[in-house]
Structure 1
Amino acid sequence: MDQLSIYLPGILLAYSIFLVGVASPGPNILAIIGTSMSIDRKSGVSLALGVAMGSLTWGILAASGLSALLAKYASALIFIKIAGGLYLLWLAYKSFKSASSTYDLEVKKLGQEGRSPLRCALSGYTVQMTNPKAALAWIATISLGLQPGSPIWVSAAIVLGIFVLSTVTHTLYAIAFSTSFMVAAYSRARRYIQATLGVFFSVAGLKLLTDRN
């Protein structure tokens, strides 16, 4: 219980950053939305599950790489947090820039009518694995939850927990955006959402840059 109380705040913070980040549509989410809107909900959900599996893969790679690095060079966590903090501040800038623009939600579909659920899932996995921002996002997220000497279960809890959140949230995107009502509602609220995300990313980025524990 003592260990849980020490590491739980960092784990929950990592979850929070993921949920904030997933509210800002990137290539993966835009593909899910576009597929659900233009093809059907089933294809969108299959694509979402593929994206979630890609997220799990990136998470395992990032966690194992960081764990191996920190096991050999504990001081490397400082530089990892600086890199993660700068990335989060860049996301904040992008969010504020998006909030100040007037463009509508631009989506795209992957594939064509009649594709099997497996092929849609493979397309989603490919989209996530070929997105270099996914790797940077995982490094920033995991570094928020890690402390010097963190046991392996902390990284595992972050990766598995975010995988579950990724599966749920991306599937919800596919279901929700298969309706024109949700598309219109998001378009109306987009600028407010992006401004809020900018604040969250700014706070999290500054926390990483100033945290030397």
Structure 2
Amino acid sequence: MQWHPALGFVAAVTPLTLIPGTSFTLVTQQVIAGPRSDGVRTAFSSACGLLVHATFAAVGLSTLVTSSARALTTVKLVGGIYLIWLAVTTWRSARRGAEPTTRRR
């Protein structure tokens, strides 16, 4: 086994894993805007999302989606329907005067 490709991969990925991303920014925003528990919940939710993504990738969903146009279309449609549902519920909450994603302080 040649180690050069693995070392090159590690060298390329290490800076990417050390740079704070959108999850870090979101957690920081939640901690600054409210109590620490909001930041903890946001960090936990982000970690759960990454776990789900890694699990699906491990069982081959990523391979299935990249190899099958029909599977990719299905995943896109389900995701689109979910986003539409989120938009409608947020809009309804806003019309009632409630804050849809954060608690009133």
Normalising by structure 2, we get a TM-score of 0.48
Structure ranking higher on relative contact order (CA contacts 8 Å, 6+ apart): 1
- Specify the structure having the higher radius of gyration (Cα): 2
Normalising by structure 1, we get a TM-score of 0.27
